[in-house]
Amino acid sequence: MVESTARSRRPWLFVPFAAVVLIAIVWSGFWYVAASRADAVITAWLAEEAKHGRIHRCGSRTSGGYPFRIEVRCIDPTVELVNAQPPRLLRGKEVVGVAQVYDPDLIIAEITGPLAIAEAREPAGQVAVWRADWRLAQASLRGIAGTPERLSVVLDGARLERAEGTSAETWAAANRLAMHVRRNPVSSADKPVVDVAAQVAGVTVPAAPVLAGRPLDAEVTALVSGLADWRPKPVPARLREWQVAGGRVKVIRLRLQQGDAVAIAVGDIGLSAAGRPDGAFNVTMTGFDQLVQQLVGSSQQGGGLQIGVMAGLAFLGRPAEIDGRRAVSVALRFNDGAVFLGPIPLGRMEPLY
State which residues of the chain have pLDDT below 50.
1-2, 124-125, 298-302, 305
Determine the straight-line distance between the first and last CA of the chain, rounded to whole angstroms. 94
7's CB contacts (< 8 A; 6+ apart) are none
To the nearest 5 percent, what fractions of the chain are helix, strand and coil? Answer: 25, 50, 25
Decide: 331 and 342 in contact? Cβ < 8 Å: yes
Amino acid at 43: T
Residues 251-302 have pLDDT tens digits of: 999 999 988 889 999 999 999 999 999 999 999 988 876 655 555 554 444 4
Q: What is the pLDDT of residue 236?
A: 86
Q: What is the pLDDT of residue 166?
A: 67
pLDDT above 90 covers a percentage of the chain that reads: 37
Q: What is the pLDDT of residue 8?
A: 53
Q: What is the pLDDT of residue 307?
A: 52
- Nearest C-alpha neighbor of 326 from the set 279, 266, 282, 285: 285
φ and ψ of 308, to 5 deg? -65, -45
- What span, in angstroms and rounded, lies between the C-alpha atoms of 104 and 34? 8
Cis before 86? omega within 30: yes
Residues 335-353 have pLDDT tens digits of: 999 999 888 888 899 999 8
The DSSP code sequence of 175-201 is EEEEEEEEE-TTS-SSS-EEEEEEEEE
- What span, in angstroms and rounded, lies between the C-alpha atoms of 103 and 49? 24
Q: What is the pLDDT of residue 299?
A: 45
Measured between alpha carbons, how far is residue 253 from residues 169, 287, 321 in Å? 33, 19, 15
Instruction: Identify the bridge partners of residue 268 per DSSP, sorted by sequence position.
Output: 250, 280
Residues 296-336 have pLDDT tens digits of: 554 444 455 455 555 566 666 788 888 888 888 989 999 99
- What span, in angstroms and rounded, lies between the C-alpha atoms of 191 and 233? 19
Decide: 126 and 118 in contact? Cβ < 8 Å: yes
